[in-house]
Amino acid sequence: MNQQKRTDIFSRLQRQNPEPKTELLYDSTFELLIAVLLSAQATDVSVNKATRLLYPVANTPEKMLALGVDGVKRYIKTIGLFNSKAENVIKTCHILIAQHDSQVPEDRVALEKLPGVGRKTANVVLNTAFGHPVIAVDTHIFRVSNRTKIATGKTVELVEQKLMKQVPKPFLQDAHHWLILHGRYTCVARTPKCGSCIIEDLCEYKEKVE
């Protein structure tokens, strides 16, 4: 795919959704961090359902720590892998209090040292909370990038590297959200909704399957 096509694709996505946002519900950087940590192998809908009840009770590292592992589990038991996630939440709160004055660090290395926080989660927090022009490649972004040919690669790491180089700079800040939403609602896994896709004529997936 040439760069003009990429520019046209992101221009259309921008016109359709000028201010894209995560679908995770949160009111603070700490709440965002915990929500993203819980969202691994889970839907945003299921996470929001749990955090609607959890955050009114525990919306700071100190309050979360006071719940303890078993207390957190009671609120997130409907989410996949809730046992290990509850343990990671509590361990993360310990570190935030002890090492970061109860604040979420605006630093990739520090974020990735938090239990349950990998590169993808760190990228979401850096992008959504702190405005860094980074892209967290999840299953939706990986699929859309490869299918459309915006950025192809056999690994998440390679797709992220290519996106960071090939997404036109004016769109880099919001590319993460546009690609996720496009993959979630239009360029879905089993049967992409090509007929209602606003970038169908620019996408190179159709050319491949014809």
Q: Report, as residue numbers or ranges, the catalytic residues.
A: 120, 138
CA–centroid distance for 34 within its chain: 12
CA distance 25 to 153: 31
CA–centroid distance for 177 within its chain: 8
CA distance 51 to 179: 24
CA distance 59 to 56: 7
CB 33 within 8 A of CB 66: no
Q: Give me the phi and psi of 87, to 5 degrees please.
A: -65, -40
CA distance 51 to 22: 15
Burial class (CB in 10 A: 0-12, 13-18, 19+), 131: exposed
Sign of CA dihedral 206, 139, 198, 168: negative
C-alpha to C-alpha distances, 185 to 36, 146, 176, 182, 191, nearest whole angstrom: 20, 17, 15, 6, 11
